[in-house]
Chain A
Amino acid sequence: MNRRTFLIGAVGAAACGSRPRLNVLNWSDYVAPDTISNFENEFGIQVRYGTFESVPEMLAKVMGGNSGWDVVFPSAEYIQPMRDMNLLAPLRHELLQNLEALDAPFRVPPWDPQLQWSIPYMHGTTGIVYQRTLPQPIQAWADLWNPTLAGKITMLDDPPEVFGACLKMLGYSLNSSDPEQLKKAQQEAIRQKKLVRAYLNAEVRDQLVAGDVTAAQAWAVTAGQAITAVPDKLSYVLPTEGFARYADNMAILQESRRMEAAHQFLNYLLRPQVAAAIVAATHTATANGAAQKLLPEATRRDTVLYPPQDTLARGEWFTPQSAASQKLRARLWTEVKSA
């Protein structure tokens, strides 16, 4: 099969199936099994649904400005940078009637107070999951530096998160760009490294469930899934020193030629029933207040997903870092990993 024949065939095939199209790039495991197909059936639009594991991965794909994707889901601290790179299209609120479904705090989020470029989708926290068999329950980041847990601790493989935990433990801000503070945080990370079993993201879930890992720095969504898998064996705690909050948002790429379809999709995801179905399937916390009301009592009371307001007050959102700060953090992280 040579390339030219294939190309001709592909063009032919594309010309045949010409329903309107929409290309969506989202985090993995962030929709319910039937979310996309229901949208396709109702609106008659064919959706190409791709996934990514980290924002830098997504950025690498869309930075060129002609990637072919229409809708993406950046985290909060990337909205401003993507704006600076002219990647986002302004949102037309007249096409988004379901905006009112959003929970009050998420209608004026600090990273996009007028929702001009993004709409909050799902949110969460970063805390610690631990086995209940521990003699003392874990309460603070400092507990992850406990030598008795050597070889059984994992941290996230994510520099902002690891440094975030260290900074919080030292009493500083998550988003510190002060070289002194960052270096102290790095020292803590290096001190902890010999106790760390591995730096793991979502993969730690299975190891928590299996019991290989006793305590892990983890995202709320991972914690929720692990706890659901083995009820009564694991607990999730938001450390006393403070913790990170994250929010993933929907946005439309500037390059998209399918503005109407894209807005229809965003509006569809804002529907309370749709959002509630997604939450039921993925165990995340939604920014959609109307959807929350549709959730079962148990889910709404779930402190992993919806911590009480006073606890949330200890949380801090990530903000974009200056280039100098990024460079310093990158270097410090390399030193930690190489230690």
Chain B
Amino acid sequence: MKRGLALYAVAAYAFLHVPLLILAVFSFNSSRFTVWEGFSLTWYRALLRDGDLIEASVNSLIIALGATAIATILGTLAAYGLWKRSSPWVAGSLYLSLVTPEIVTGVSLLALFQWIFRFVHLRLGMHTVILAHVGFSLAYVVVVVLARLRSFDPTLEEAALDLGANEFGAFRRVTLPYLAPSVAAAAMLAFTVSIDDYVITSLVAGVDSQTLPMVIYAMARRGVNPVLNAVSTMIVTGLGILIMVSERLRRS
């Protein structure tokens, strides 16, 4: 079965990556159409000259990193809290945030912010986007971490308490290490959700907080644009290298 699984994995990874590989190949196409015309770096040059695109990418990164950090920490703690003793209100509202369509979340947050801004002298901006992102990523983090907590043996913590640790100590040194893989998985999920979000962000972003998906959507609406291919390839390559490097570091 190990063999079968490995073969399947290859096919699955191919399914996931081939569309992007094709995008990458055509990002070097001198023509903008699906017909190969020749190798060229024009689209990359256009990409680097596009100030809006670069600024939007930076914004996206800042927002995603910030929102992921906050959501992962708060979410992990919340999952632990819920596991210890459930709270119908917190669990219920987290659940609700999952079943709400993005457009509704976006519009309702916009309505809320506009109401608040009548009293507080603020505008829509990076802060509203990050707040919104934390709001919708929390539930993802909690779901992932809680799923793993369900298979954790509570007597291990009790043993730690018996041995003289306090509540927080027991959490930090017994439970948290056990949770580490799922916290990492949850953080990746939160990062993905944040950096990819278009609907909610476009509604609560202010004048100065254009994000990458917003710029991409605007470009893509006008048809196939090879600069998008270049964007995609650069992101994948950059992050891919990052992952390889961290793997190396981890193993050494």
Q: Do chains A and B touch in the complex (CB under 8 A)?
A: yes
Interface residues of A (CB under 8 A from B): 1-3, 6-7, 10, 23, 28-29, 48-51, 53, 60, 64, 66-69, 201-203, 205-206, 209-210
B207 and A10: CB pair below 8 A? no
29 inter-chain pairs at a CB distance below 8 angstroms, sorted by A residue, are A1-B62, A1-B65, A1-B69, A3-B70, A3-B130, A3-B131, A10-B125, A10-B126, A23-B207, A28-B218, A28-B222, A29-B222, A50-B210, A53-B217, A60-B107, A64-B110, A64-B117, A66-B114, A67-B124, A67-B206, A68-B123, A201-B221, A202-B221, A202-B223, A203-B221, A205-B222, A205-B223, A206-B223, A210-B33
Q: With A and B bound together, what is the CA distance between A50 and B207 in angstroms?
A: 8
> Which bracket fits the contact residues of B?
20 to 34
A1 and B66: CB pair below 8 A? yes
B37 close to chain A: CB less than 8 A: no
A2 and B66: CB pair below 8 A? yes
From 25 to 40 in chain B, residues with beta carbon under 8 angstroms from any chain A beta carbon are 33-34
Name the CB-closest residue of A to B225.
Answer: A206
Inside 8 A of B110's CB, which chain A residues have their CB? Answer: 60, 64
B45 close to chain A: CB less than 8 A: no
From 195 to 225 in chain B, residues with beta carbon under 8 angstroms from any chain A beta carbon are 203, 206-208, 210, 217-219, 221-224
A203 and B222: CB pair below 8 A? yes
Inside 8 A of B206's CB, which chain A residues have their CB? Answer: 67-68
Name the CB-closest residue of B to A230.
Answer: B33
Inside 8 A of B210's CB, which chain A residues have their CB? Answer: 50
From 76 to 114 in chain B, residues with beta carbon under 8 angstroms from any chain A beta carbon are 107, 110, 114
B127 close to chain A: CB less than 8 A: yes
Q: With A and B bound together, what is the CA distance between A335 and B2 in angstroms?
A: 51
Inside 8 A of B127's CB, which chain A residues have their CB? Answer: 3, 6-7
Q: With A and B bound together, what is the CA distance between A210 and B66 in angstroms?
A: 43
Q: With A and B bound together, what is the CA distance between A28 and B131 in angstroms?
A: 28
From 159 to 209 in chain B, residues with beta carbon under 8 angstroms from any chain A beta carbon are 203, 206-208
A209 and B33: CB pair below 8 A? yes
Inside 8 A of B203's CB, which chain A residues have their CB? Answer: 60
Inside 8 A of B52's CB, which chain A residues have their CB? Answer: 49
B221 and A28: CB pair below 8 A? yes
